[in-house]
Structures are given as C-alpha cells and as structure tokens.
Amino acid sequence: MRVGVLASGTGTNLQALLDSVHGREVEIVAVASDKPQAQALERARAAGVPARAFPAGDHPGRDARDAAIADWLAAAGVELVVLAGYMQLLGAGFLARFPDRVLNVHPALLPAFPGLDAIGQALDYGVKVFGVTVHLVDEGVDTGPIVLQAAVELPDATGRDEVLAALRPLEHRLLPEAVRRIAAGRLRRDPANPRRVLT
C-alpha cells in the first residue's frame, strides 16, 4: 500500500512509520507539510521520500491548498493518507478524494478533549489517565471512528511536556499498528454501527 504523510512539526510520528512499516507493509511515497521549515520534511528527504511544503500563502484558501495536496498525493499513487501531527483541518473535498483512507493520531482518549491543545485541556480538567487515539478522519474535529487507543496513568502530571513525553511511545506504537491493519485489509466499518470500525 502506498502511503502519504502530512505533518506540521518535528515528525517523530513520521519517523516511527519510516522505522517500522516503510519498506515492509507499506511504502511511504510522499510527505507534505504546511510548514516549509518543518523537520518532518527533512526526515522524509533523509529517507529518500519525496517531500514538499504547501504554505498557506501559496494558495488562495484552505480548499485550494487541500486540492493541491490531494493532487500531489494522487499523482504519487497514494492509497492511504496519515496525519502525523498535521495541524490543519482538511475539508470535505480532500476527504472525498480518500474515502475512509485518512488516518489521524490524537493525544487524548477521544471523544474527550478533541481539537487543539488536547493535553492542556486534559490537565485543566484534572484527569489522572491520559491517552492516545488513532482514528479515521471525517468532516468533524476529531470525531471520526476510533481505530486504536491506549492509555497511561499519570496521577501527578502537571505539565504538557511531561504528558507528551509519556504519550509519545504510545503514538509511535499505535500509529504504525493502525497502518499495518489497514494495509492488511483488517479495517472495516461495523455494519451494526457505522461510527465504529472493526480491526
């Protein structure tokens, strides 16, 4: 399966994919970012994967940028799009190009704490258990069907960096595993509940 990855930052989840599933269960054939200086682009190039930035200023709006990214991914033969720390919402037009084939990793146990700064939201709420969710992307904000989740107890956590450090290993394990399951054809909608996927 040919995979495209979108990332906005350092690209540690991209690196986890490169280290675990790339060249094995899947081929990562394109990496795109909304940030020209994103370290994720350098990680891709170091692995010999084509990488390209799509900054907002180069396009007349979100839909135009989404279309440009989708065209680039489609030209590379991408069958699955993985959002690995991509900090932009994708519109309906993009999602329609890759139906049930856009995967995201989120640093919270959805449906709790969707959207930006999930860890900050969880800290403000005073939770004792934090977690990671890998889900399919729909037109809502972190509302798509859940594929995998894992949790860690951090009863005394007080800072975002501390929580993020504890969640990173979960992200780096769950995201490649979800990609493996999709590549193996093990992911399907539950006919009894269209919001649920069976893996």
Q: Tens digit of pLDDT for each residue in 58-111?
A: 999 999 999 999 999 999 999 999 999 999 999 999 999 999 999 999 999 999
* Number of folded domains that form the chain: 1
Residue 73 counted as domain residue: yes
Across the range 110-129, mean pLDDT stands at 96
Residue 198 counted as domain residue: no
Residue 133 counted as domain residue: yes
106 is catalytic: yes
Residue 6 counted as domain residue: yes
- Which residue of the set 22, 106, 135, 172 is catalytic? 106
Concatenated DSSP letters of 35-101:
-TT-HHHHHHHHTT--EEE--GGGSSSHHHHHHHHHHHHHHTT--EEEESS--S---HHHHHHSTT-
Average confidence score pLDDT of the chain: 96
Residue 87 counted as domain residue: yes
At 26 the pLDDT is 98
* Residue percentage of the chain with pLDDT more than 70: 100
At 188 the pLDDT is 82
CATH of the domain at 27: 3.40.50.170
Q: How confident is the model at residue 153 (pLDDT cuts 50, 70, 90)?
A: very high
Structural domain for 39, as ranges:
2-187
CA–CA gap between residue 127 and residue 119 (Å, rounded): 10
Whether residue 199 is predicted with pLDDT greater than 80 in this model: the reply is no
Across the range 103-128, mean pLDDT stands at 97
At 128 the pLDDT is 97
Residue 195 counted as domain residue: no
* This model's pTM is above 0.85: yes
* Residue percentage of the chain with pLDDT more than 90: 91
- Nearest in space to 86 (alpha carbons), one of 20, 31, 162, 147: 31
Across the range 171-179, mean pLDDT stands at 98
At 57 the pLDDT is 87
At 147 the pLDDT is 96
C-alpha angle 186/191/195, rounded to 5°? 85
- Nearest in space to 19 (alpha carbons), one of 60, 59, 45, 47: 47
Residue 14 counted as domain residue: yes
Residue 64 counted as domain residue: yes
